């Protein structure tokens, strides 16, 4: 169980409004024999480890590594909606299609989606670049770029189409990934040189551009974290992304990074 204290800034007007409404309806129910039924609005969060919160600690399980500090948990608290937290570490688009859509219905209010990096093999690319063979690194990056150009758009199109079919009334928000590096080297970057970091960042840009384009085709909003995370990458003075840790948490947002994601995502989920 998480021992993290709730952040005061995470308690938004939506939560207060829901609490006030419940209090009013409770008073009415006590004064009248008529009963009232409240249907709690639902938010479904699907995707990979950047959504589940790998790197942010306080994990609910050891299979999907869903963190109590992940942005879907924080966002659901702020907007006052029941969270179906289906994101899972290591998930690909096919995994999301097969395992994470069960809670999408025509009553779903909000959906956030973050997936695609595992399909492009980013974990393998980082492994290739962590050695001393620059040619191997650059070849792996080129392979990821080819996948993102040639195959990922269709995979994302299939997923987004299915999400809309299952949750036809929901507001759907696609959430992207930041660049990992700022061009500096430290223990956390292993042997990834500034040149290789630049190539990896360029691949992250292609992932963002590809994902944003398919999201736009479906009329979905796209949350782009790249500018917000600038200056907070691996090796920075105030890192929001972990470097190499020797665990699956390597190169994932830490708790501060998930807080930053929350600040970016919540405005897309709030009502006007």
- Active-site positions? 49, 252
Q: What angle do CA 224, 4, 172 make, to 5 degrees?
A: 30
In whole angstroms, what is the distance from residue 22 CA to residue 254 CA?
35
Contacts within 8 Å (CB) and 24+ apart, 139-144: 141/196, 141/199, 141/200, 141/202, 141/203, 144/120, 144/203
- Cα separation, 252 vs 231, in Å, equals 15
Q: What angle do CA 195, 201, 205 make, to 5 degrees?
A: 145
Give the tokens for residue 240: 């929001």
C-alpha pair distances (Å), 122 with each of 25, 53, 147, 180, 235 = 50, 17, 11, 11, 19
Show the tokens assigned to 143.
């392979």
Residue 4 main-chain phi, psi, to 5 deg: -65, 130
Tokens 């040619």 sit on residue: 135
Integer-rounded Cα radius of gyration of the chain: 20
Distances from the Cα of 189 to the Cα of 44, 203, 249, angstroms: 34, 17, 13
3-state secondary structure of 234: strand
């Amino acid at each position: 169980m998480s021992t993290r204290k709730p952040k005061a800034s995470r308690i938004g007007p939506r939560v207060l409004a829901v609490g006030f409404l419940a209090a009013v309806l409770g008073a009415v129910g006590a004064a009248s024999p008529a009963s009232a039924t409240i249907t709690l609005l639902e938010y479904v969060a699907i995707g990979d480890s950047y959504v589940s919160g790998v790197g942010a600690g306080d994990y609910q399980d050891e299979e999907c590594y869903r963190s109590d500090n992940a942005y879907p948990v924080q966002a659901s608290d702020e907007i006052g909606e029941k969270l179906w937290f289906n994101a899972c570490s290591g998930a690909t688009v096919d995994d999301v299609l097969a395992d994470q859509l069960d809670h999408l219905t025509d009553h779903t209010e909000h959906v956030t989606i973050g997936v695609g990096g595992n399909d492009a093999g980013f974990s393998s690319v980082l492994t290739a670049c962590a050695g001393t063979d620059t040619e191997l690194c650059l070849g792996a990056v080129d392979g990821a770029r080819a996948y993102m150009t040639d195959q990922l758009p269709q995979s994302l199109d299939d997923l987004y189409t299915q999400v809309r079919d299952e949750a036809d009334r929901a507001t759907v928000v696609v959430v992207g990934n930041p660049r990992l590096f700022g061009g500096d080297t430290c223990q956390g970057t292993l042997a990834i040189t500034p040149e290789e970091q630049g190539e990896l960042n360029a691949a992250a840009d292609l992932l963002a551009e590809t994902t944003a384009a398919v999201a736009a085709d479906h009329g979905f909003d796209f949350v782009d974290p790249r500018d917000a995370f600038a200056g907070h990458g691996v090796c920075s003075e105030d890192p929001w992304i972990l470097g190499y840790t020797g665990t699956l948490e390597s190169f994932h947002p830490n708790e501060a990074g998930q807080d930053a994601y929350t600040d970016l995502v919540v405005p897309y989920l709030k009502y006007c």
